[in-house]
Structures are given as C-alpha cells and as structure tokens.
Amino acid sequence: MKFDSAATTNPIDRLKVIGQPLDRIDGPLKTTGKAPYAYERHDIVADPAYGHVIGATIAKGRITAMDLSAAERAPGVLAVVTARNAGVLKKGNYNTAHLLGGPDIQHYHQAVALVVAESFEQARAAAHLVRIDYKAEPGRFDLHAAKGSATAPEPSDLTGPIDTHVGDFPRAFAQAAVRLDETYTTPDQSHAMMEPHATLASWEGDSLTVWTSNQMVAWSTGELATTLGIPPEKVRLISPYIGGGFGSKLFLRADVVLAALGARAAGRPVKVALQRPLIANNTTHRPATIQRVRLGAERDGTITAIGHESWSGDLEGGGPETAVGQTRLLYAGANRMTSMRLAVLDLPEGNAMRAPGEAPGLMALEIAMDEMAEKLGIDPVEFRIRNDTQVDPEHPERPFSARPFVQCLRLGAERFGWDRRNARPGQIRDGRWLIGLGMAAGFRNNLLAKSGARVRLDNLGVVTVETDMTDIGTGSYTIIAQTAAEMMGVPMEQVRVVLGDSSFPVSAGSGGQWGAASSTAGVYAACVKLREEVARKLSLNSADAEFVDGEVRVGNRSIRLQAAAAEGDLVAEDRMEYGDITEKMQQSTFAGHFVEVAVDSATGESRIRRMLAVCAAGRILNPKSARSQVIGAMTMGAGAALMEELAVDTRRGFFVNHDLVGYEVPVHADIPHQEVVFLDETDPMSTPLKAKGVGELGICGVGAAVANAIYNATGVRVRDYPITLDKHLDRLPDVA
C-alpha cells in the first residue's frame, strides 16, 4: 500500500482500541521474568558454551604478539577466536571500525579476541591468560584540540546538507539591533541501557541463527551476512525482547559477530554478552559537540538572523553529530546559516543515541534562546511564540503538516504556573535552596520508513501479526495488537503479536522515533488486505463490510469473523510505503518542556523539583505507553543536563569512567513527579493512523530547560554540559 495523500476516515478512527491507555500485553512476561532475552534462551539451547570478550588496551596502534597457549590449555576452554584465525571478515556498512580488531587497533576496547569455554567463569578466567603485546601509536583524542583541523564531512541521507545558507546571514547578524554569539559544549554520552549487548549463536551446516538484542532486524541480518561473507538467506536473526537500546543496538556489534565466530570455532552454540566495563569503549556513543549559536533580532523580538555551527569528532570514515538540524526548521528568520564540521579522532566510534542531532543541538540552541530572551527583556515563552513559523523557513512554499507548537508552549506555561517565574535570576529562596524555573522547546522530525507485516486469521478468530519489528521497551507489541484489533474488529485477547524475527516481513524497526507510526501503518496495510480476503471468502463487498465485535457486518447481515477461516487460515501480507508526501510538507513533533530546580546555595548541587512536558505528536496510539516513553526520555534529558559525561583521557585515548559506577545516570531520587500532556491532535499527512513518533521528542529540549532553570535559580550561566556543581560553585552567593 502506498500512502501519498492525506488520510481520510478509516476503521482506526473508531478508537475502540487505538488511543486507549491499555496495559502492555508483554507486561506480565516481563514482570515475572519470563520474557526470554537473548542471553537466557534456555528454551532454545540447553547447553551453550560461553564466550568472554577481550578488548584492546591501547587506543591506536598494532598488536605485535599474541600468546594464546595458556588460555587454550586452561580448564574448559574450547576455542580462542582472534582476527588471525577467524577467516576473512568484511566490515559492514554501519560500523566504522572492525568489530574484531587486529593486528591494527582502531580504538580502546576494540574486541581482539573471544575466549570460548564450557562455563562463563572458565571463559572469564582464561581470558586473563591471553597475553597480547601492543605497539601504541600517537592518536588524536581531544575534540577541542582537533577542532581547528575539522573539515566538512561528506553529506549523506543521515547528515542532510553540511552547510546551509538562506538570505544574507553575516549582514543581517551584523546589523541586528540585539545580538547573541555564544559557544556551548556537550560531552560524549553512553546509552547505558540496562541489558548489555548479548547474543546466542548456533550453526546448522552453513546456516547461522542468532538470538540477539537488536533494534533493526533487517539491517543487522544483512550486516552479519556481509561481515561473515555468507549469503543473507543463510542468516536468521531473532530479537523479540530488548532490554533498552537507545540507538546502541541499531547496528551489528561485536557480540553478534564473536558469538557466530565462537560457535563456528567451538562447533556448538555459543553465547556472548559484552561485559559492562567494555560497553562504553567497545560500542558506540553519542559524540561530544562544540556548538556556536548566533542570533540577531529586532528589539521587538523578531529574529532576523539565526546561525548554528557544530563541531564533532569521529574515527576516520565516521560521520558528524548532526546538531544543527533542528535550527533549520524550529524558528522563523529571514537570514539563516548552519554548518557542521568533523574532526578525525581516535576515540571509539560515535553514532546515534536517542534523538541524535536534536538532543545535543537543542541543548545549545535552547539555552541561546533563553539568553536572547533575557537580552531582549522578553519572556522566554513569548519570545519563542513570536518567532513561530508554520512553514519551512528555508522553503516557505513548504508548510508543516501540523504545527501546534504555540499551543504546547501556552498550555505548558499555564499548567506549570510559568507566570510565577521571576525574570530576574537568583531571587527565589527556599531555605538554603535557590529556586528557578526554566523552559525550552522540544522538536524532533517525524521520520517514516516503509514497514511490512503479515496477518493471519484462524478458525478460532485469533488474529496473529508477524513482522520483524522490535519492541525495545517502547510498547510496540501493544500498539501493534491495538492496530490489528481495531482493524479486524476483535478484542485485544484475540490478537497475537510475534516480533523480531528476520523470517518475518521487513519492518521499519525501532529507531529515530519512527517505529510506532511506521510499524502500525504496515500492520494497517496488511489488515486492509486481510479484510478484503475475509470479505471475498464470505462473499461480501469489502467496501461495505464493517468489522466489529468479532463479526463482519453488511447491512443487516452479520457473520462471525472466524467463519472466513473455516477451511483454513487466511493470510495477508503487505507493507506501507510513502510517496512524496513528506517532501511536500514538513512533518515534525513538538513539545514545551518546563522544569523547576533547586540549587543548594552552598554546594551548588542541582536537584529537579518538577517537570512538565506538553507534547504534540499526532494521534497518541496508547497514552500509557506513550507517557512511559516521554517520562523515560525526560529522565534521560535530566541526566544529560546534570551528570552524564564520558570522561576522556586525552593522553591515553579512552573513556575512563567505563562502568555504571563512573558513568552516572539518574536514579529515582533524582527524578521528581513528571507530568506529561499530549495535545489532542491528529496528523492525516503522516499515516492512516494519523500518528507520529514520540519516543525521542521527550528528550529534545529537556537538557536546556534544566539548564535555564538552574540559571534562573542562580544567576550563573553555564554553557558546558553537564551542569555539575564545580562549574558554578565559585560564582554562587556567599554562605550565610
């Protein structure tokens, strides 16, 4: 099915199931510990061998010698896999460095060996017996030092244009009545998902099956075949349950490749989980940025010039953090520029982490907007509203499909009690605490990807949905079941959803907040086909048939749905594809984030007291799981604002705090009550369900809202994330 014009009324609009705050259908499995995650597939393989990964201990250089003999003789050891004995491995398209390194080392903790043994403990103990000599070479590890060497990266679908210019930015900025020119920095961040990357691999002849934890089944199936040099049809990848990904599991990673190689070497199934201390340096991370924002405005607050430049670093062949993307679309302004520059760094490879681009980009832009509002003497909410645009500012002929941005801000301000904010910072106290309110805009584009599904009706009236879509804790199982239930007119209990298997139709997968809208559209398409099959089987005119309460009704005729499958299951498969609808109109999601913080006037510790997000993301398919997505993202935004930072050792070239002791993410005590409001909205330009993504919108802007609240509390502006106490301690009032 092709979606190329605005959605009209369809069975989804009945909203009997869609739009209801239903519990997750996979909830009981997860809360009782029965959901089989990759490392726990005891149902598949009774007696797997265990792999333990060895990471390189230099950042750049070469392995000069490797002595495996002691490890190979150790109790229980079945095999030691290295680049030397693994056979020819190619590099996939999505990873920058090789997933099994050697003799060249491209980054710290790049995997260089896998020790396979009868037990996990034996593999771990034997791994310490592998002796590796390295010759280290000097590397480039400091973004600030490398900034001057940064160049314009190659544009791709992921980056968008590297440089943009509209009007005459230099002139307009120079002539603006009020100007802001500030530089902001965001650090490298780690996804820190709860479940480590983990894989169980098993060969049957030359066919490989991997049970793994991966957000994008089709991508990674192809990448695994490419890496191993085997035909894609010989690889089956199964990823039904995922303990968090946040972008870390978008791609094939070392656990999959090493489990496959280990299983081949040991001649039996092998499972591998990346050890937690390896994850920060072995896998991907969100790259650090240096961002310069320039704003020029008339005294009445009209933006006349808006410029945003970003510098980031990556391994040779990697890509930039696209931190300027939102600045092309969020605010009006006749004269505009953006640019991205990329430095070569020999740190581990950067890649997507929840809302890549927008998350760090808004952390900079939305402090700048707060600073500019103060310079202008205009309330920060009003300043943003004054510069709203209903069209793509670079292409005014291109409207937004829906843009209730102003409503998000106005409703948020009202709900939050924004009028109680004192525009003069550092004025409000509660005992020893300094109190501040801050806000920021949230913005994330609505990306859509073609997505397929297969739907089966059996003679008990059970509807089974099969798609390689994944559920990374987001609620995909539930919204897909809701879509099928609504379309086929059956209760939720009559729907079975099976996900994450590469033998199923290819879906959008989970990433870029495209999963919910795209995958349900694919299920919609398959259900439309199944409805036609049912009608044909029952000799009804499908256009007139109503599917409701387990029946198919035409006029005053009513037939049980399962009657259509009396002679055998009915199966329909289709996928949703998109015409140029996204080119004609800009599809985005919007939020207003509001935060109250308390800063200890003596120690400078910042603690969040209240958070509110008002979100506009089209139709909300399930308000309960959507709210969970948003509060989780707000929590991640709070972490970005207050504590998350991979500390770079710029001499030795690695992230030092590479475990969950050193890399702090928020705990319950950091997160107060979070309120989420969804605007009652539909976007018929998005999909037949009129829904858009929400999983990344929730983080976009949160960091800046926290930063702005801290400034409002203290009067000290910090432009270097995370805003830890040492960055404003010297400038806080005397303790008295």
Active site residues: 696
**Paired strand residues for 153:** none
Is the Cβ of residue 205 or residue 431 nearer to another protein in the bound state? 431
Instruction: Please count the other Cβ atoms lying within 10 Å of the Cβ belonging to residue 193.
Output: 20
Closest to another protein by CB, 403 or 717: 717
CA atoms of 710 and 723, how far apart (whole Å): 9
Please report how close the Cβ of residue 722 comes to another protein at its closest, in angstroms.
8
Interface with another protein by CB under 8 A: which residues? 57, 121, 124-125, 128, 277, 432, 600-605, 607, 642-643, 647-649, 651-652, 656-659, 661-662, 664, 666-670, 722, 724-726, 729-730, 732, 735-736
Residue (64 or 503) nearer to another protein, CB: 64
Q: How many CB atoms lie within 10 A of CB 381?
A: 22
Place of tokens 């990848």: 237
Q: Which is nearer to another protein, 123 or 488 (CB)?
A: 123
Nearest to residue 524, comparing CAs of 561, 491, 572, 564? Answer: 572
**DSSP character for 138?**
-
Residue 317: left (phi > 0), alpha (psi -120 to 50), or beta? left
146: Cβ contacts below 8 Å, ≥ 6 apart? 140, 313, 343, 344, 345
- β-bridge pairing 335-344 and 303-314: parallel
Q: Please give the C-alpha separations between residue 482 and each of 20, 466, 489, 589, 723, in angstroms, as whole numbers.
A: 9, 14, 10, 22, 41
Q: CA geometry: angle at 727 spanning 721 and 728, to 5°?
A: 125
For the bound state, the minimum distance from the C-beta of residue 668 to another protein, rounded and expressed in Å, comes to: 7
* Residue 631 near residue 699, CB atoms below 8 Å: no
Least Å distance between CB 460 and another protein?
A: 46
The owner of tokens 């079941």 is 481
Closest approach, Cβ 183 to another protein, in A, equals: 20
Nearest distance from C-beta of residue 652 to another protein, angstroms: 7
Task: Provide the β-strand partners of residue 616.
Answer: 590
* DSSP one-letter code for 98: -
Distance CA 288, CA 647 (A): 11
CB of residue 96 vs another protein: minimum separation in angstroms?
A: 22
d(CA 402, CA 10): 20
Judged by beta carbon, residue 85 or residue 603, the one nearer another protein is: 603
Nearer Cβ to another protein (124/234): 124
Is residue 179 a contact partner of residue 684, using CB atoms and an 8 Å limit? no
Question: 668-677 burial, b for 16+ CB within 10 Å, e for fewer?
Answer: eebbbebbbb
Q: Which is nearer to another protein, 554 or 602 (CB)?
A: 602
Q: What are phi and psi of 522, to 5 degrees?
A: -65, -40
Least separation, in Å, of the C-beta of 647 and another protein? 4
- To another protein, the closest distance from the beta carbon of 669 in angstroms equals 4
165/607 with CB nearer another protein: 607
Question: Which amino acid appears at position 457 of this protein?
Answer: L
Residue 581 or 716 having the CB closest to another protein: 716
* Interacting residues of 189 by C-beta distance below 8 A, sequence separation 6+: 285, 286, 353, 640, 644, 645, 646
The one-letter amino acid at 45: V
Pairing of strands 289-297, 303-314: antiparallel
Cβ of residue 707: shortest distance to another protein, in angstroms? 15
Query: Hey, what amino acid is at 369?
Result: M
Question: With contact defined as beta carbons under 8 Å apart, do 439 and 710 qualify?
Answer: no
Would you say 191 or 384 has its CB closer to another protein?
191
Q: In 10 A of CB 228, how many CB atoms?
A: 21
Which residue from 254, 248, 224, 252 is spatially nearest to 236, judged by alpha carbons?
Answer: 224
Judged by CB, which is closer to another protein: 278, or 362? 278
Up-side HSE of residue 477: CA atoms within 13 Å toward CB? 23
Q: Locate all alpha helices (DSSP H) within 352-494, ordered by sequence.
A: 358-376, 380-386, 405-416, 476-488
The secondary structure of residue 725, as a DSSP letter, is G
Rounded to the nearest whole angstrom, what is the least distance from the CB of residue 657 to another protein in the complex? 5
In angstroms, give the least distance from the CB of 114 to another protein: 17
The span from the CA of 301 to the CA of 284, in Å, is 40
Angle between helices 702-714 and 358-376 (to 10 degrees): 40
Torsion angle, alpha carbons of 38, 41, 46, 52, to 10: 20
- Side chain identity at residue 30, one-letter code: K
CB of 121 to another protein, least distance (A): 6
- Residues 485/457, Cβ–Cβ less than 8 Å: no
724 closest CA partner among 636, 632, 599? 599
Q: How far is the CB of 35 from another protein (least distance, A)?
A: 23
* Closer residue to another protein (CB): 59 or 79: 59
